Amino acid sequence: MGTEVEVELPAGQERVRLRRLDPERVSDVELDELAALVNRCYRSTDSWTHEAQLIAGLRVTRERLRMYMDDRDVVLFVGELGGRIVASVKTGAVRDTVIGPLPPERAPAGYIGLLSVEPVLQSRGLGRALVLFAEQFCRQQLGLHRMALDVLEPRADIIAWYTRLGYQLGTARRPARKFMMDKGEQLVTEHDFDFVLMEKALA
């Protein structure tokens, strides 16, 4: 399995090429473009599923992306179309997620985060293709047998979406408010809610 793949969108002839970002060579311009995509997808109402109704502020900045990439276990893929970054997924082996350490018998697992598809390209199968690609990468390149990800519990639509992809909700959870405030982000709602863990065993 190479680090470049082509994903043919089911509804058209356009092909989105996935490229692994090289921490040594990635430019500030690329990271700014990626951060803008992620923020547009997560924190605006242009996506069919987003978190703008729950959290205000930037989901990610160039500096935070650089910080992620300082961790050699983190692998960032971007999807490009017509020379523009239109999709992303952060993956790699983890023993901890936002929620805390994974149980030893279920660690390490492949992670899925920063999953973003340009809003005008959504609902055409690209998000699903990115998840399946990350799973294949973790299985084949990293030898992992499980996947894990964190979601915000009120996001019933994305939980249902991951469930259709074979992910199961566990019982592990972490209150979102303090975690978000420590990152400089604010909950939009007065009521509190949690991050919850979803996991999948890879075939």
Ligand X SMILES: CC(C)(COP(=O)(O)OP(=O)(O)OC[C@H]1O[C@@H](n2cnc3c(N)ncnc32)[C@H](O)[C@@H]1OP(=O)(O)O)[C@@H](O)C(=O)NCCC(=O)NCCS
Interacting residues toward ligand X by CB under 6 A: 41-42, 47-50, 115-117, 122-128, 151, 157-158, 161, 164
Q: How far is the CB of 25 from ligand X (least distance, A)?
A: 25
Rounded distance between C-alpha atoms, residue 24 and residue 101, angstroms = 29
- Residue nearest ligand X (C-beta atom): 127
**Cβ closest to ligand X, residue 22 vs residue 194:** 194
Rounded distance between C-alpha atoms, residue 191 and residue 136, angstroms = 38
**Cβ closest to ligand X, residue 161 vs residue 179:** 161
Q: How far is the CB of 173 from ligand X (least distance, A)?
A: 15
Query: Ramachandran region of residue 197, left (φ > 0), alpha (ψ -120 to 50) or beta?
Result: beta
**Cβ closest to ligand X, residue 48 vs residue 73:** 48
DSSP SS3 for 156? helix
**Cβ closest to ligand X, residue 144 vs residue 150:** 150
Q: How far is the CB of 159 from ligand X (least distance, A)?
A: 9
Q: Which residues pair with 149 in a beta bridge?
A: 198
Q: How far is the CB of 22 from ligand X (least distance, A)?
A: 23
